C-alpha cells in the first residue's frame, strides 16, 4: 500500500532524510519512531504530496506521489501534528466543508460525517465553534476530518498530542478499528 524507495530531503546543509526505504502492506499499522528532528514529519509531508523529495520515490496505492499528488491525496487521510482548523466554524460546518472539498457526493456526506463524528466522539460538540474547544477536542476534530472520506491510507502525525490518558486509549482503539479499511502510518 505504501512503498518508500530511497527518499532523501535536505534543508540547505541539513539532511533531514537520507536514502529512506520501507514498505507498508494493506491493513498494517506502522509507527515511525525517532527523536525530534529525525525527519518523521518531513517524510509524512513527502508521502502526502505536500512536500517534494530531493531524491527517491514514494508510491501510495500504486500511485507515484510526485507524478499524481492529487490522486494520492484522494486516497490518503492526513492529520498534521497541529491540524489547521478554522476556529470560528462549528465542528459540524467544518466537517461539511471538508466533505465538500473531498468531493464526497452529497447523498453520502451525512452518513460519512456521522461515522467520523462517532469515531472521534464529537457528537456533543457539533454546534460548538472549534476555537472554543479544548486542545484535545480540537485534535479529535482533526482526526475526524482525516477519516471523513474513508481513506485507504491514514497518515497521523502524533495523533494523541494534547489528549488525556483516557482519550489516548480511545484514539488507539479507533486506530485499531480503522485498520479494517485503512493502512495506518503513525
Considering only CA atoms, which of 139, 131, 137 is closest in space to residue 156?
139
Summarised one tens digit per residue, pLDDT across range 4-22 is 999 999 999 999 999 999 9
How far are the Cα atoms of 12, 73, 138, 161 from residue 58, in angstroms, in the given order? Answer: 22, 13, 30, 27
CA angle 148, 94, 92 (to 5 degrees): 80
Q: What is the DSSP letter of 158?
A: S
* Burial environment of residue 124 by CB neighbours within 10 A (0 to 12, 13 to 18, 19 or more): exposed
Query: From the CB of residue 93, how many other CB atoms can be counted at a distance below 10 Å?
Result: 15
At residue 72 the predicted structure's pLDDT band, cuts being 50, 70 and 90, is very high
Q: In angstroms, rounded to a whole number, what is the distance separating the alpha carbons of residues 76 and 184?
A: 10
The answer, yes or no, to whether residue 162 has pLDDT greater than 80, is no
Summarised one tens digit per residue, pLDDT across range 142-159 is 999 999 999 999 999 988
Q: Compute the 3-state secondary structure of the chain and give helix, strand, coil in percent, each to the nearest 5.
A: 40, 25, 35
The answer, yes or no, to whether residue 166 has pLDDT greater than 90, is no
Amino acid at each position: 500500500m505504501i512503498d518508500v524507495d530511497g527518499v532523501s530531503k535536505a534543508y540547505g546543509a541539513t539532511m533531514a532524510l537520507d536514502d529512506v526505504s520501507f514498505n507498508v502492506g494493506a491493513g498494517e499499522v506502522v509507527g515511525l519512531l525517532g527523536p525530534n528532528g529525525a525527519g518523521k514529519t518531513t517524510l509524512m509531508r513527502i508521502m502526502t504530496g505536500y512536500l517534494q523529495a530531493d531524491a527517491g520515490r514514494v508510491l501510495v496505492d500504486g500511485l507515484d506521489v510526485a507524478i499524481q499528488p492529487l490522486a494520492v491525496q484522494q486516497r490518503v487521510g492526513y492529520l498534521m501534528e497541529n491540524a489547521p482548523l478554522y476556529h470560528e466554524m462549528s465542528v459540524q460546518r467544518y466537517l461539511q466543508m471538508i466533505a465538500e472539498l473531498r468531493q464526497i457526493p452529497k447523498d453520502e456526506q451525512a452518513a460519512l460525517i456521522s461515522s467520523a463524528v462517532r469515531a472521534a466522539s464529537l457528537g456533543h460538540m457539533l454546534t460548538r465553534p472549534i476555537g472554543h474547544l479544548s486542545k484535545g477536542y480540537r485534535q479529535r476534530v482533526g482526526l475526524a476530518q482525516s477519516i471523513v472520506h474513508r481513506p485507504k491510507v491514514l497518515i497521523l502525525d502524533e495523533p494523541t498530542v494534547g489528549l488525556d490518558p483516557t482519550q489516548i486509549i480511545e484514539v488507539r482503539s479507533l486506530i485499531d478499528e480503522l485498520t479494517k479499511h485503512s493502512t495506518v502510518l503513525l
